[in-house]
Every structure is written in structure tokens, then in C-alpha cells.
Amino acid sequence: MSIRRKIASGSFWTVGSAGMNQGVQFITFAVIARILTPEDVGVMALAVMIIGIGRLVLDLGLGMAIIRDKNTDETQLNTVFWISLFVAAVLYFAITFSAGPISGFLNNSTIGNIIHLSNLVLFFESCRLVPNSILRKNLEFKNLAIISTVNSVTYSAISLTLAFSNYGLYSLLYAYIFSSLLSAVMSYRLSGWYPKFKISLKKSRSLLKFGINLSFSSIISYINENIERLLLAKYIGVFELGVYHFVKRIISLPQQLLSQNIGVATYPILAKIKDDDAELSRTYLFLLRSMSLIAFPTLSFLAFTSEAWIPVIFGGKWESANVPIKILFLSGIFGAVVSPLGNVYLAKGKSVYSLIINLSVFVLVIALYPFAAKASLNILCAAVVFVSFAGFLLNIYFSSKEIKAGFTDNLKSVLPSVIYSSVLIYSVIIINRYTLNSGKILALTLDTIFFLLTFSAISFFLYKKNMIKLYDIFSSKFLNKKPIEQQQ
């Protein structure tokens, strides 16, 4: 099986499950958004952001290190497990004692109570680090998809049940905790790995060296991507934070589909061909074309049809998100395209590139975000887009440098998607100009039909070979058909 075919196969499971999961989550979010207020959403976003920093710290980059190292033994795996669990305990108490000062800084007492409870997730995340990494290393994407799907359905069922039982903000919190616990249990069950008390820091030194560099970079990246939430809550208000989180949640759907799921499929495969520069280069350009084809038009469509779908799906109280989404969609595009590409230089062992990129972006964040947050929500959104674009260019530069892809190669890969997205934006603006006054549902229907028809046509004519590869994967796995080339 070729490398690109392996990526397509792995991506089929991860993206397939992610597509279903995000469909479930989108419906859940639509229902929850009609029950909760923007203030509730803003408070929960703050709590998850703070716990997210802890989750990154306890990982220490060791999950990626396990996947990359071809000769990881049982002692090393157990060492990683116990280190992660120890770090989780330290973080639990540190964040718990910090909850009071954080509440005071933000002038919001509710956030402290939420942090105290959500802190439990750190233990569950540390426990599943090793078994989850083993599944990824062994390319067991089907099992990863099962875990992800069960997690998503469980979260949705619990949060909806509690929300309709008037638990309010805590419906999201309890669902978050329980679904994390369930994921940990399933990771052990499906990987077949269970911890033993075997520790050797000396044998695990190579894993720790690679992982700590990557972990430090990941923490800085996470701060870069989330610090604006703290600034919004402090200088503008929790309501605006709720609106901002709402927009970020919408535009993150394609980003999660590409970055977190295709990235899961590609990294262990790229790690296996890290010494074949020619194959790595071809795979890099394949990824760039594919990511751009999905991210550019999808997010453009979501942003410029928001006047139709936001009030219909989420209710009128979220209409203040119409302007921010037309700015932030660009940030979503850059984020969706970049993350899988960064796996190229990580597979080559150049985690220092990630650190350089994130430190550079951090400088921009510190310089721009505080002033932008004090001005207005829309100006902060514009600053986020500028910083995202800078990170996008740096990632493209370092990935291309490692596999010697030129500027022209990169431009040829993304240009068709950029042109199509520009035409799409202009078209839906014209359609909405003449249909919105006749009804939002009519406008949304016509917009969607136009998008699906043109996207299908563009995908087929520009990326026919890629589509045939994906069809072969599907037909051989589920329809027992021979690949197209074997039928000819």
C-alpha cells in the first residue's frame, strides 16, 4: 500500500468518525445554545481553556515521541505513564489553588467552581496518554474512531439530558468529565496495554528530550491560540467572550476535521518515511492541495451565509456573531491547513521548528492582543487573523525547507482553492442580496445547493485522481470491489 493510500485509509476512519461526531456535536451545540446564554458559554470556554493548558503540560510531548520512536519498549512506555500521572497530580493541586485568584482577576465567582470540578479531567487524560499513543503508532485508526465516536455520543447525551433538566452551565461540565473518563477506559480496552511499575529515566532519555521540546512549543502555541479569551473576559466582558467562543466553535469544525483527525492519520505514516525526501515532498504537496480544497471553500461559505443560518439554527440571540465570523473565518482556514503540514518537519525530528514558530507568534500575540482586546471584539478578531497568517507562512516555510518544495509548488497547490473560494463568496453575496428579504430558509437553501454543486464539480475536475484513490479505499473496504485501475 502506497503512503498516500495509507493516509487516505487512515483518514477515512478518522475523518469519517470525526464527520459523524461533529454532526452530533453540532446538533448538540445548536440545542444547548438555545438554552444557555452567551455568558454561560463564555464561562465554560474559560474553564476549558485553563484546563487545556494543564492537559498540554502533562502530555510533555511524550505521546508524539512514542509514535516517532520505532524501538519503544515496555519499560519506556511505563516510565511515560508514571511521569504523566505524577505531573497530573501536581497540576491538579496547582490549578485548584489558583482557582480563587483567577476568579478575582476576572471578577467572576462562577469560574472558580467550574475549575475545581473540571480539574478531574487531568487524571483521565494522563491515564490514556500511553494506550492512545500505541493505537496511533500501530495505525489502528478504526479503534481510535470507535473511541472518538463513543466519546462524542456520550457527551451529547449527558449534556442534553442535564440541560433539559435545568442544570444550565453544569450540564456541559458533567458531560465533559464523564466522557473523558470513558475515553480513558476504552483506550486501555482497545489497545490491550496496561501499566506496570517499571521506571527507567535513563532508557527514556531520548523520548523525554524530543517530547519536552515539543511540549514547550505546544504550550506556547496553546497560549497563542487562547490568551485572547482571557483578555476578552477581562476588558470587554463574558458576553462578548461567549460570542467569540461561538464563532470559534463554528469555524473550528473544518479545522478539527483536518488538523486533529487527518493529522492523527498522517503523523505516524510520515514518521515511517522520514528518510525518503522525495516521497515526503510528494506527500506534503498532496496534503496541502487536499487541506486547501476543503478548508478554503467550506469556511468561506459558512462565513458569508451566516445571516441566513445563525438565526435559523441557533436563534436570534447569536446574531451579533455575524460580523466576527466574517473576519475570523480566515484564521480558521490558516489553522486547518497548517497543522497536518507541520507533521512533516516533526516527522523529521525537527521539533525545534515548532518552537521557533510558536515563539515568533507569541511575540506578535503579546504585542497586539492586549491593545486589540481593549478596543473592540472585531478589532481583536482582525488581530487574530493577522497572527494566524504569520504562523501559516512560517509553517509553510519550514515544511518546504525540510523537503525542498519551492514557492511555486506551494502556490500551485493552494491557488485553485483560493480562486474558487473568492468566486463562491461573491456568488453567495449576490444570492443573499435578492433572497434574504424573502426568507432566511430560502436563502440558506439556495446558498447550500449552489455550494454543493460547485464544490463537487471543482473537486472532481481538479482533484479527480485523489477522489479515485479515496473511492478505491471505500470500495475495497466496504463494497468488496476491485480498485478502478484493476477494473480497466
Q: Residue 483: its pLDDT value, please? A: 44
Q: Residue 264: its pLDDT value, please? A: 57
Q: For all residues of the chain together, what is the average pLDDT? A: 78
Cα dihedral 42→44→49→52 (10° resolution) = -160
| pLDDT band at 344; cut points 50, 70, 90 | confident
Give percent of the chain above pLDDT 90: 7
Task: Give a yes or no: residue 413 inside a domain.
Answer: yes
Task: Give per-residue pLDDT as tens, 127-140.
Answer: 888 888 888 777 77
| pLDDT band at 14; cut points 50, 70, 90 | low
Task: Give a yes or no: residue 486 inside a domain.
Answer: no
Which pTM was predicted?
A: 0.71
The pLDDT of residue 488 is above 50: no
C-alpha grid cell, residue 368: 497586539
Percent composition of the chain: helix, strand, coil (DSSP 3-state, to 5): 90, 0, 10
Residue recorded with cell 528518510:
275
DSSP letter string over 257-306? IIIIIIHHHHHHHHHHTTT-HHHHHHHHHHHHHHHHHHHHHHHHHHHHTH
Distance of CA 189 to the CA centre of its chain: 25
Answer yes or no: are the C-beta atoms of 374 and 235 closer than 8 Å: yes
Task: Give a yes or no: residue 111 inside a domain.
Answer: yes
Task: Give per-residue pLDDT as tens, 404-431.
Answer: 766 777 777 788 888 888 988 998 888 8
Question: Averaged over 227-232, what is the pLDDT?
Answer: 84
Q: Residue 481: its pLDDT value, please? A: 47
C-alpha grid cell, residue 260: 486533529
* Stretch among 168-172, 284-288, 377-381 having the lowest mean pLDDT: 284-288
Cα separation values, 396 from 271, 399, 401, Å: 18, 5, 8
Question: Averaged over 94-109, what is the pLDDT?
Answer: 81
Task: Give per-residue pLDDT as tens, 283-331.
Answer: 777 777 777 888 888 899 999 998 888 888 888 888 889 999 999 999 8
Task: Give a yes or no: residue 7 inside a domain.
Answer: yes
Q: Residue 209: its pLDDT value, please? A: 67
Task: Give a yes or no: residue 487 inside a domain.
Answer: no
Task: Give a yes or no: residue 127 inside a domain.
Answer: yes
Task: Give a yes or no: residue 12 inside a domain.
Answer: yes
Question: Averaged over 370-379, what is the pLDDT?
Answer: 90
What is the domain range of residue 144? 3-480
Question: Averaged over 360-388, what is the pLDDT?
Answer: 91
CA distance 387 to 381: 10
Task: Give a yes or no: residue 315 inside a domain.
Answer: yes
Q: At what angle do helices 277-304 and 464-474 cross, to 10 degrees?
A: 100
Question: Averaged over 42-64, what is the pLDDT?
Answer: 75
| Of residues 228 and 254, more confidently modeled | 228
How many domains are there within the chain? 1
